[in-house]
Chain A
Amino acid sequence: MRDKRMSLDDVVGELRSGMTIGIGGWGSRRKPLALVRAILRSDITDLTVVTYGGPDLGLLCSAGKVRKAYYGFVSLDSPPFYDPWFAKARTAGEIVVREMDEGMVKCGLEAAAARLPFLPIRAGLGSDVPNFWEGELKTVASPYGDETLIAMPALNLDAALVHLNLGDKHGNAAYTGIDPYFDDLYCLAAERRYLSVERVVETEELVKSVPPQALLLNRMLVDGVVEAPGGAHFTLAADDYGRDEKFQKHYVESAKTPEAWQQFVDTYLAVSEDEYQAAVRRFAEEEQ
C-alpha cells in the first residue's frame, strides 16, 4: 500500500491559485491550521474557500488570499466571537460571499460526495440566503407534490484540508474527541484530499487506539498525510489539547493595528511550522 506521507510544504506544492478549497473542522475547533499556515507562507492566492469558518478563514483573509467564500458562519467560538480579519475583508468588500445556512453546507458537501448536481433542502427559504448567492442558488419543485425547495448545488472541491488526531501513513485516520465535525464529507467532496494528524502510527496501533466508529477516514479518501503535532493550534483538537484561548485572544488583539499585526506575522507566520510551535511555547511560558 502507498506511503502517502508528505510535508506541509509538499501539500502546498500541489495546490494552485484559484482553487476551490474546503477546510475541515468547525469554528475554532480542530482546524487544519498548520496547513493554513503553510498556504500563508506560499504565493498561492485567489482562493475560493468552503468552510464552517473560524480563524482558518481569518488567517487566509489576513494575507489577502481569499477571493470568494462559502460558509455557514464564521466564529472564534469564544469572546470576542467575531473573527477580526474576516470582518475586515467583509467591511472592505474584498471578498465575494455565498453565505448560507449551516445545514446547507452539509447538504452541498453531501451532494458533491454523491456526485449529484444538487440536493433539495428546506433551509434557506424565505431568508436572505438566496440574495447572498446573487442568482447562483435556485429552487426545485417536487414532482410528487406542491413543495418548492432550495436546490442546494454540490460544493465540489478541488482540494480538502482536514486535521485529525491519529492516522497511519496510508490515510486511515481517526478523531479522538467528541465530534467528527464534517471532515469525511470534505474529503468525499474533493478531488485532492490532504490530511494532517497529531501522530502517524502503524495501522495496527491506530485501530487498537480507537473504537471502529471513530475511524472517520479510509485510504480511498486521502491523497496525502502530514504528521503535524499541534497542527490544529490555536483551535482545539480534543482529546489531544483544548483551544489556546490566550493565544486566540492574542491573535485578535494583534489584528487591531498594522504594527501589532506585523509583529504577529514576524513571530508566528513568516516562519516554519517548527518555529511557530516554538514561538507558541514561549508565548505560553511568558503568559504563566
Chain B
Amino acid sequence: MTITRAEVCAVACAEIFAGAGEIMASPMSPLTTLGARLAKLTTEPDLLLSDGEARFFAETPALGRSAPIEGWIPFRKVFEVVASGRRHVVMGANQIDRYGNQNLSAFGALQQPTRQMFGVRGAPGNTVNHATSYFVPKHSTRVFVEKVDIVSGVGYDKVDPANPAYRFHHLHRVVSNLGVFDFEGPDHTLRARSLHPGVTADEVAENTSFDIAGLAEAPESRLPTDEELRLIREVLDPKSVRDREVPQ
C-alpha cells in the first residue's frame, strides 16, 4: 500500500508538537487532530488533548470517537490556558503572508467586507501568547498572498521589539499539502523546510504569491515509519477521514 499525501501531512502535523512537553495541543481540523494524536501516541505522551468541546481526554481515541476523560476545559478555561502560554494551536488560514500574518476573519474592508467568514476568533490572542502553527490543505496563491486583507493572526512584521508584551509570539510551522515551512527566512519570512514526496519547487513557487526562502534546497519530507502508519491507518483514522482534507 503506497504512502499517501495525507499520511505525509499527518506525520508533518505530528512533528509540529515535537518537544512540546506538557501543554495543551489545540488542532483545529481533522488532519491536524490526527497529527496531534499521533504525536501523543509516539514521542509526546504528556500532551493534553481535548474533545474540542470541554473535556480533556485521558486516552487517545480515533478521529470522531470519544474516550475516558481526565479533566474539564470549558471555553472560559481555554482563555486562561491561552494567557498562560501553555498551549500550541494549529489554526487554518484563509490567507497567510510571508511574515505569517493570517486572516480567517473576512475579505475586503473592515467595516464592509466583500466576504464574511468567522471574524478574528481567538487568533489575535493565540498568536501573541503561545506557539502557533498553521495547516493549509490546499496550497494556492489565493491562500499564500502578498498581503492579507485582515490581520487576525499576528505576523512577525507586526511585532514591536521595544514592547516586551510581544515576547511570547512564536509562529512555529506551516504545513500544507505541498510541504513543511517555518519563518526562519530573512527577517522572519516563510522558509521551506521540506517538500512532500512528488512535489517540486516549481509547483510550490507557482502556488505561492511571494518568494519562499530555501525553496530550491528543501529536502523531501520524512515518510511515516511503519509504526506511525499502523497508528494512522489502524488506530487513529481507520475511516480515512484524512483523505477528505488532503486528497492524494
Alpha-carbon gap, A16 to B97, bound state (A): 45
Complex interface: chain B residues within 8 A of A93 (CB): 111-112
Query: 8 more A-B contacts (CB under 8 A) besides A90-B112, A122-B128?
Result: A73-B118, A87-B115, A99-B105, A123-B129, A126-B169, A127-B127, A179-B74, A180-B74
Q: Return B102 CB to nearest CB of chain A, in Å.
A: 10
The closest CB in chain A to the CB of B116 belongs to A87
Asked whether any CB of chain A lies closer than 8 Å to the CB of B150, the reply is yes
**Among A53, A127, A149, A179, which residue has its beta carbon within 8 angstroms of that of B123?**
A127
Instruction: Decide if B83 touches A103 in the complex (CB within 8 Å).
Output: yes
**Among B125, B152, B162, B168, which residue has its beta carbon within 8 angstroms of that of A103?**
B125
Stretch at the interface among A128-136, A166-174, A274-282: A128-136
Asked whether any CB of chain B lies closer than 8 Å to the CB of A234, the reply is no
Complex interface: chain A residues within 8 A of B169 (CB): 126
| Interface, chain A (partner B; CB < 8 A) | 26, 53, 71-75, 81-82, 86-87, 90-93, 96-97, 99-104, 106, 121-129, 131-132, 145-149, 178-182
Alpha-carbon gap, A72 to B121, bound state (A): 5
Instruction: Decide if A103 touches B82 in the complex (CB within 8 Å).
Output: yes
Instruction: Decide if A127 touches B120 in the complex (CB within 8 Å).
Output: yes
Asked whether any CB of chain A lies closer than 8 Å to the CB of B106, the reply is yes
Q: Which of A99, A127, A179 has the most CB of B within 10 A?
A: A127
| A100-B120 contact, Cβ under 8 Å, with A123-B125, A128-B150 | yes
Alpha-carbon gap, A99 to B169, bound state (A): 21
**Among B112, B115, B116, B123, which residue has its beta carbon within 8 angstroms of that of A101?**
B123
Complex interface: chain B residues within 8 A of A74 (CB): 116, 118-119
Alpha-carbon gap, A92 to B114, bound state (A): 9
Complex interface: chain B residues within 8 A of A73 (CB): 118-121
Instruction: Decide if A101 touches B120 in the complex (CB within 8 Å).
Output: yes
Complex interface: chain A residues within 8 A of B119 (CB): 53, 71-74, 99
Asked whether any CB of chain A lies closer than 8 Å to the CB of B158, the reply is yes
Instruction: Decide if A126 touches B120 in the complex (CB within 8 Å).
Output: no
Instruction: Decide if A102 touches B118 in the complex (CB within 8 Å).
Output: no
Complex interface: chain B residues within 8 A of A75 (CB): 118
Complex interface: chain B residues within 8 A of A146 (CB): 162-164
Task: Please list 6 pairs of residues, one from A and one from B, whose beta carbons are closer than 8 Å in the complex, sorted by A's number.
Answer: A91-B112, A101-B120, A106-B76, A123-B129, A126-B169, A146-B164
Instruction: Decide if A102 touches B122 in the complex (CB within 8 Å).
Output: yes
| A122-B125 contact, Cβ under 8 Å, with A97-B111, A127-B152 | yes
Alpha-carbon gap, A90 to B72, bound state (A): 36
Q: Which of A71, A122, A149 has the most CB of B within 10 A?
A: A122
Taking residues whose C-beta sits less than 8 angstroms from the other chain, chain B's interface range is: 35 or more
Asked whether any CB of chain A lies closer than 8 Å to the CB of B154, the reply is yes
Complex interface: chain B residues within 8 A of A132 (CB): 110-111
The closest CB in chain A to the CB of B169 belongs to A126
Complex interface: chain B residues within 8 A of A123 (CB): 82, 122, 124-125, 128-129
Complex interface: chain A residues within 8 A of B168 (CB): 122
| A180-B152 contact, Cβ under 8 Å, with A90-B116, A148-B165 | no
Complex interface: chain A residues within 8 A of B153 (CB): 127
Complex interface: chain A residues within 8 A of B216 (CB): none
Instruction: Decide if A126 touches B128 in the complex (CB within 8 Å).
Output: yes
Instruction: Decide if A147 touches B123 in the complex (CB within 8 Å).
Output: no
The closest CB in chain B to the CB of A69 belongs to B119
Asked whether any CB of chain A lies closer than 8 Å to the CB of B117, the reply is yes
**Among B105, B110, B154, which residue has its beta carbon within 8 angstroms of that of A126?**
B154
Complex interface: chain A residues within 8 A of B72 (CB): 178
Complex interface: chain A residues within 8 A of B116 (CB): 74, 82, 86-87, 90-91
| A101-B154 contact, Cβ under 8 Å, with A123-B129, A125-B128, A132-B110 | no
Complex interface: chain B residues within 8 A of A131 (CB): 110
**Among A86, A127, A145, A181, which residue has its beta carbon within 8 angstroms of that of B75?**
A181
Asked whether any CB of chain A lies closer than 8 Å to the CB of B54, the reply is yes
Q: Return B104 CB to nearest CB of chain A, in Å.
A: 9
Instruction: Decide if A128 touches B164 in the complex (CB within 8 Å).
Output: no
Q: Mark B66-110, 1 if CB is under 8 A from A, else 0.
A: 000000101110010011000000000000000000000110101
Which residues 126-169 of B sit at the A interface, judged by CB distance below 8 A? 127-129, 150-155, 158-160, 162-166, 168-169
Instruction: Decide if B124 touches A125 in the complex (CB within 8 Å).
Output: yes
The closest CB in chain A to the CB of B151 belongs to A128
Which residues 160-213 of B sit at the A interface, judged by CB distance below 8 A? 160, 162-166, 168-169
Q: Return B75 CB to nearest CB of chain A, in Å.
A: 6
